Amino acid sequence: MIPPPPTDLPAHLKALAGRADDALARALPGENDPPVELHRAMRYAVLGGGKRIRPLLVYAAGHALGIDDARLDAPACAVEIIHAYSLVHDDLPAMDDDALRRGRPTCHIVFGEAMAILAGDALQALAFEILAHDEAGIDAHARIAMLRALGAACGAEGMAGGQAFDLSAVGKRLTLAELERMHAYKTGALIRASVKLGALAAGCRDDDLLSRLDRYGHAVGLAFQVRDDILDIEGESSVIGKTAGKDAAADKPTFPSIIGLEPSRARLDALVADALDAIAPWGERGEWLAELARYSATRGH
């Protein structure tokens, strides 16, 4: 039995999240630089809170492989900026039509739909520019591999494909395998890429280690989504930062709706156990990864 983990991030990971915030603020265009409205929308989308799980996974994977945090800032920023762009587009009326994100009005509510679309487009482009122009001493081979990994996580076999599955699944009864495939694309792909980017930045080319990290990322990505589905039932909008109960109201397939609430909790335990087993060879060096796996399944928002 997995011991009960904390429901909040430990102090050292919170400090790393603060490091990511500082790096993001530097990487984004200034809010008074023209075109002003676009840049303000971009900064609003990225800097408006968030758990920074994806940057933390970059740092944690790099830490497990002995790389300095400074060399991980660029990939950490890139994955979070991609995540922010995906949220801006997912919240649009043509997609999930949500008015609340991270406890604030969504980007299109504040800046209008057209500017929100442009902000998402510009953020996606910026993420790849950051990776391509990284000057932290990461060699060209590793940077090309990181660009490829991040691109794959965004496309038809990643977030875009997952959103397409999601849109077509509304009102339908999916099997558990179909639901897990949808979320492996929509949520899991970028989480897996975050772990891989940390490893690639560290110069890792060991197929066995990369396979273990990919297994870890897959388990954490699914655990994150199962927890989201549980919070949609049990959470309060003021705590989780988005509209509670929205998935059920929209008749979207979720883990509790397909297998039930208690089996969903059991699935969470199994996913965390698998993630921890995958990183066992790293021992204490993998503790940041272990803490993030536990947090993904216990977070309150």
The pLDDT score that the predictor gives to residue 3 is: 38
Tokens describing residue 250:
């929209």
Q: What is the CATH number of domain 11-298?
A: 1.10.600.10
Of the two residues 293 and 6, the one the predictor is more confident about is 293
Residue 4 pLDDT class (50, 70, 90 cuts): very low
Q: Model confidence over 113-131: pLDDT tens digits?
A: 999 999 999 999 999 999 9
Q: What is the mean predicted confidence (pLDDT) over 216-239?
A: 83
Angle at 153 between CA 279 and CA 67, to 5 degrees: 45
Residue 248 pLDDT class (50, 70, 90 cuts): low
The pLDDT score that the predictor gives to residue 265 is: 93
The pLDDT score that the predictor gives to residue 162 is: 92
Residue 32 pLDDT class (50, 70, 90 cuts): very high
Asked whether 214 and 195 are in contact (CB, 8 A), the reply is yes
Tokens describing residue 75:
């990939």
Residue 292 identity: L
Which residue from 60, 107, 77, 126 is spatially nearest to 284, judged by alpha carbons? Answer: 60
Q: Model confidence over 170-221: pLDDT tens digits?
A: 888 889 999 999 999 999 999 999 999 999 999 998 999 999 999 999 999 9
| Side-chain half-sphere CA neighbours of 220 within 13 A | 34
Residue 216 identity: Y
DSSP strand pairing (104-105 vs 100-101): antiparallel
As a whole-number percent, the residues of the chain with pLDDT over 90 amount to 76
Q: Is 172 helix (H, G, I), strand (E, B) or coil?
A: coil
Instruction: Give the Cα separation of 73 and 143 in Å (integer).
Output: 13
Domain boundaries, the chain: 11-298
Q: Is the pLDDT of residue 61 over 70?
A: yes
The pLDDT score that the predictor gives to residue 239 is: 46
The pLDDT score that the predictor gives to residue 253 is: 84
Of the two residues 3 and 9, the one the predictor is more confident about is 9
Q: Is the pLDDT of residue 150 over 60?
A: yes
